[in-house]
Copies of this chain bind each other. A is one copy, B any other.
Amino acid sequence: MSKRLNRPLPLGTPAGVEVLTKILTQGPIPRVQIARRTGLSQAAVTKAVAPLIEAGFVTDQQALAEDAAEGRPELGIGRPVSPLTVVADSVSVIGLKVTPTDLIGVTTDFKAGILAVRHQQLTDLSAATVIEQLASLATELMDTLDDEADPSGPLIGIGVAVSGDVDTLHGVVRDSPFMGWRDVPVATPLGEKLRVPVVVSNDVRALTVTEHWFGVGVDADSFAVVTIGSGVGCGLYVNGEVVSGAHGVSGELGHLPLAPGDLVCTCGRRGCVETVASSDAILARVRETTGQPELDLSGAIELARAGDAHAREAFDRAGEVIGSALAAMVNLVGPELVVIAGEGVADYDLYDQRMRQAFAKHAFGAAGDCTLMLRSHTFDDWARGAAATVIRSYVRGEPPLQR
């Protein structure tokens, strides 16, 4: 249990947070580069870095070793530049993703690198049962961290990702149509059971945090992560930060009113994108038009790939609405890059073309010049996103991980 002790970061000032963030997301990085990118003096960078090295969170040794191993040329003659990098195994994190059928859990290191993966089927969707199962999955993952042969660091927190309207500050799922949850407290009961800080987030927001800190966001000035699958979601990164919404809601691409108004969504509203573009909606449409009520999703995909006109139409319709939704989003926000992810990426071939046509038809002017990028995606990525939210709260000292 000693490994689960709280391990506070020695960060006294906002400058310290900024410096550690740069090392974490852009390392290996020399001190002079950090100074240049943050606008801090070199002396201030050195002052912020010293206690982090002292406490074992950051090193200037490992990076050199890595560079040498990769055969990079030395960066200068004389005094070595000693780029800084975080010590990956200085802390561990658990990330859990809740879906209506399964729980997916991962342990990661400080750099959100996945160490272990565990899945668990959900028996029912009542909040009490799911929280019980989350606790048992987390315990199982903690055991992997306690393994003596394993060099993983102390556990700093557990992230939980759920689709829908999530109040991260209070750790409450306010409205998750997929789970059938309204105002379900998650952070407090789970945290009390496990005696570890718990961060609850909207799942797509969590994925966006991962891209921001450990993915495309390191290089892009603005981007959107669009997830297609059992739901359609969107995370936005603009003006140096993930968009969180004044009331905790943003990026609800699946609930733009772009579909026919007679279709009722799982959220209760009419005409939402998800009424034709979610995998359930596609499957329902294929079952209806082909007259095969027993089909499952892979059966529907197979039919469409085999050229069945009815099955194809359902995917076409989904592609059309997804393309319009993408256009609506870029017309409003104008990101540099749109990353398309989610489990729906597996049948991307079936709606790609229609999606791009609809996008081109409705994207306004130069907003359509953004790059559309396909990202292969597993369920584990969702859980990794949940872990990334913990890492971010830890570095920033935000609740429930305040210093």
Contact A332:B334 (CB < 8 A) given known A14-B39, A39-B14, A248-B366: no
Of all chain B residues, the one with the shortest Cβ separation from A243 is B238
Contacts of A367 in B (CB 8 A): 245, 247, 249-250, 252
Interface flags for A148-178 (1: CB within 8 Å of B; 0: not) read 0000000000000000110100000011000
In Å, the complex CA distance between A379 and B98 comes to 51
In Å, the complex CA distance between A332 and B332 comes to 9
| From B167, B236, B324, B361, contact of A332 by CB (8 A) | B236
Interface flags for A228-256 (1: CB within 8 Å of B; 0: not) read 00000010101111011111111111011
| From B14, B167, B337, B362, contact of A255 by CB (8 A) | B362
Contact A174:B364 (CB < 8 A) given known A250-B334, A255-B331, A334-B249: no
CB distance from A294 to the nearest CB of B (A): 33
- Excluding A240-B240, A257-B258, 11 further A-B contacts by CB distance (< 8 Å) are A236-B333, A238-B239, A239-B239, A239-B241, A243-B334, A246-B334, A246-B335, A249-B330, A250-B333, A269-B361, A328-B328
Contacts of A256 in B (CB 8 A): 328, 331-332, 362
Taking residues whose C-beta sits less than 8 angstroms from the other chain, chain A's interface range is 35 or more
Contacts of A246 in B (CB 8 A): 221-222, 334-337, 369-370
Interface residues of A in 201-241 (CB under 8 A from B): 221-222, 234, 236, 238-241
What are 25 sample pairs from A and B whose C-beta atoms fall under 8 A apart?
A165-B366, A174-B366, A236-B333, A238-B238, A238-B239, A239-B241, A240-B240, A245-B366, A246-B369, A247-B334, A247-B336, A247-B366, A247-B367, A247-B370, A249-B330, A249-B367, A252-B364, A255-B364, A256-B328, A256-B331, A256-B332, A257-B324, A269-B364, A332-B333, A333-B333
Interface residues of A in 310-333 (CB under 8 A from B): 324, 327-333
Of all chain B residues, the one with the shortest Cβ separation from A220 is B246
Contacts of A361 in B (CB 8 A): 257, 269-270
Contacts of A251 in B (CB 8 A): 332
In Å, the complex CA distance between A248 and B221 comes to 13
The listed residue with most B CB atoms (<10 A of its CB), out of A174, A257, A335, A369, is A257
CB of A365 within 8 Å of the partner chain: yes
CB of A30 within 8 Å of the partner chain: no
CB of A271 within 8 Å of the partner chain: yes
Show the binding face of A for B, using Cβ within 8 Å: 14, 39, 164-165, 167, 174-175, 221-222, 234, 236, 238-241, 243-253, 255-258, 267, 269-271, 324, 327-337, 361-362, 364-367, 369-370
Pairwise interchain contact A165-B365, C-beta atoms closer than 8 A: yes
Contacts of A222 in B (CB 8 A): 246
In Å, the complex CA distance between A329 and B252 comes to 9
In Å, the complex CA distance between A332 and B327 comes to 12
In Å, the complex CA distance between A221 and B252 comes to 20
Contacts of A252 in B (CB 8 A): 331-332, 364-365, 367
Contacts of A331 in B (CB 8 A): 249-250, 252-253, 255-256
CB distance from A171 to the nearest CB of B (A): 15
In Å, the complex CA distance between A6 and B402 comes to 49
Contacts of A330 in B (CB 8 A): 249
Contacts of A174 in B (CB 8 A): 365-366
Of all chain B residues, the one with the shortest Cβ separation from A365 is B165
In Å, the complex CA distance between A361 and B271 comes to 10
Pairwise interchain contact B165-A249, C-beta atoms closer than 8 A: no
Contact A364:B258 (CB < 8 A) given known A250-B334, A332-B332, A333-B332: no
